[in-house]
């Protein structure tokens, strides 16, 4: 469910006309619906009512300060994977005690920053990382709360780039050797073993992989108890999928019921790290048609957003639904077959391929739907294109929550070396 709907053939985001925003802000821009964000977060959190849990929104899906501030105020914790996300999270007001830090490649400065702030836990991904965090905690006269991210070798049946829980993936510590890693952790002076973690992949549309992963984690928790290691937190990561096209992911309540039923009455606190399922369908990318170019085998709709703005179609062959902002052609919505492409000098620069759509004309506005997750956060300056604006709607109001980049900031960090001067 989201709040992007037509009113008299004009697309509205909540009570605001998307065309009116485009007139003020220019194109391309990302547009987020606060009501949708709130609804998704609340539904996710409520689905776990009755079990001790903390939702740690996964920052990487969308790190805009407005979105982080909103979720922080709604009681969320935060899942981070870098010093940058730590900085953004703290700036948006998250309490360090609600921040979990995942990722296979944490740098010393990033570890030190998280230790200094006192985060909830580090999700450790390798033996060497464990030793480094122990050493840094010792240096800083503190103790690092840690969970070991285990790789349960479960097939999430999703795109290979976003599968993370198979044994050929770089993530986590193999579940068969994890017990040894825990014993090693327990023997260290400056770490406090508090949890166990996994994240098996993203855009998962079946509950079974989550149940299988949790079963493996539970078995390990029980074995660890025999070793005198008490696990307080089970972190199940994120990964629940959404509908982009015709996927049928489980309802939030079904997903939550699967996890609760598998967890049974284990005396642990459950941590969840949802990203996409909270923000994905709460955002769209709005772009303007520049040209229509019929070709010998394909038609092209050339728009002013490119792969630098929305990378998912070219990187994962991801589907984003194409919708006109103003429907001029009632009944002819699927009259035309075309690729939607951007201005970038690569054939991989497409936003949609072989898609039936209404017959667009130059100047028309178009929405790429379901772009709230991994849209802006994966945008780049390729071809010196400026990062798009981001806009948030709340009822009848809208505000730019990240202004369009300008040429000055594009080059502000660059320097001509001294030897080239004069």
Q: Which residues of the shown chain bind ligand LLP in the complex (CB under 6 A)?
A: 58, 60-61, 79, 102, 162, 199, 202-203, 237-240, 273-277, 312, 316, 373-374
Angle at 242 between CA 237 and CA 245, to 5 degrees: 150
Least distance (Å) from ligand LLP to the CB of residue 136? 21
The catalytic position among 13, 56, 198, 345 is 345
> 273-312 burial, b if ≥16 CB within 10 A, otherwise e?
bbbbbbbbbbbbbbbbbeebeeeeeebebbbbbbbbbbbb
Work out how close the CB of 17 gets to ligand LLP at its nearest, in angstroms, rounded to a whole number.
Answer: 28
Q: What contacts 24+ positions apart, CB below 8 Å, involve 18-22?
A: 18/284, 18/286, 18/325, 18/365, 18/367, 19/325, 19/326, 19/365, 21/286, 21/391, 21/393, 21/398, 22/286, 22/288, 22/325, 22/365
Q: Which is nearer to ligand LLP, 18 or 56 (CB)?
A: 56
216, 104 Cβ separation under 8 angstroms: no
Closest approach of Cβ 165 to ligand LLP, in Å? 10
Which residue, 140, 146, 138, is CA-closest to 185?
146
CB of 2 to ligand LLP, least distance (A): 16
CB 158, min distance to ligand LLP, A: 9
User: Is it true that the peptide bond before 28 is cis, omega within 30 degrees of 0?
Assistant: yes
Start-end of H helices in 264-400: 276-279, 312-316
Q: Based on CB atoms, which residue is closest to ligand LLP, 61 or 305? A: 61
Strand, coil or helix: 225: helix
Nearer to ligand LLP, 246 or 414 (CB): 246
In this structure, are residues 341 and 350 in contact, taking their beta carbons and an 8 Å threshold? yes
Mark whether 345 is an active-site residue: yes
For ligand LLP, the closer CB: 106 or 276 = 276
- List, by residue number, the catalytic residues: 345
């Amino acid at each position: 469910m989201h709040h992007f709907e037509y009113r008299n053939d004009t697309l509205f985001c909540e009570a605001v006309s998307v065309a009116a925003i485009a007139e003020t802000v220019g194109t391309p821009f990302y547009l987020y619906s606060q009501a949708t964000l709130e609804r998704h977060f609340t539904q996710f959190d409520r689905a776990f009512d009755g079990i001790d849990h903390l939702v740690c929104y996964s920052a990487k899906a969308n790190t805009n300060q407005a979105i982080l501030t909103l979720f922080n105020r709604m009681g969320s914790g935060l899942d981070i994977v870098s010093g940058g996300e730590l900085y953004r999270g703290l700036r948006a007001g998250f309490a360090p005690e609600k921040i979990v830090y995942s990722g296979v490649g944490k740098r010393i400065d990033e570890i030190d920053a998280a230790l200094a702030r006192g985060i909830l836990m580090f999700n450790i991904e390798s033996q060497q990382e464990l030793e480094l965090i122990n050493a840094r905690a010792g240096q800083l006269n503190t103790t690092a709360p840690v969970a070991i991210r285990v790789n349960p070798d479960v097939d999430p049946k999703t795109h290979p780039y976003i599968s993370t829980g198979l044994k050929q993936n770089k993530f986590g510590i193999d579940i068969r050797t994890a017990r040894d890693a825990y014993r090693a952790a327990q023997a260290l002076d400056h770490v406090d073993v508090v949890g166990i973690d996994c994240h098996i992949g993203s855009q998962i549309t079946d509950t079974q992989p989550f149940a299988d992963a949790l079963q493996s984690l539970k078995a390990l928790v029980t074995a660890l108890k025999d070793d005198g290691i008490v696990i307080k937190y089970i972190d199940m990561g994120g990964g629940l999928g959404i509908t982009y096209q015709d996927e049928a992911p489980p309802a939030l309540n079904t997903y939550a019921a699967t996890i609760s039923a598998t967890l049974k009455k284990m005396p642990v606190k459950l941590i969840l790290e949802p990203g996409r399922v909270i923000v994905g369908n709460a955002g769209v990318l709005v772009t303007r048609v520049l040209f229509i170019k019929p070709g010998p085998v394909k038609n092209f709709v050339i728009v002013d957003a490119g792969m630098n703005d929305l990378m998912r179609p070219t990187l994962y062959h991801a589907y984003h639904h194409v919708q006109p902002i103003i429907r001029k052609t009632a009944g002819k919505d699927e009259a035309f077959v075309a690729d939607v492409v951007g201005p970038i000098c690569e054939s991989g620069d497409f936003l949609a391929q072989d898609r039936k759509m209404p017959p667009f004309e130059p100047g028309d506005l178009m929405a790429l739907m379901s772009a709230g997750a991994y849209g802006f956060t994966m945008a780049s300056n390729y071809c010196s294109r400026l990062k798009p604006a981001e806009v948030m709607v709340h009822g009848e109001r809208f505000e730019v929550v990240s202004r369009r980049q300008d040429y000055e900031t594009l080059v502000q960090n660059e320097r001509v070396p001294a030897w080239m001067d004069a």
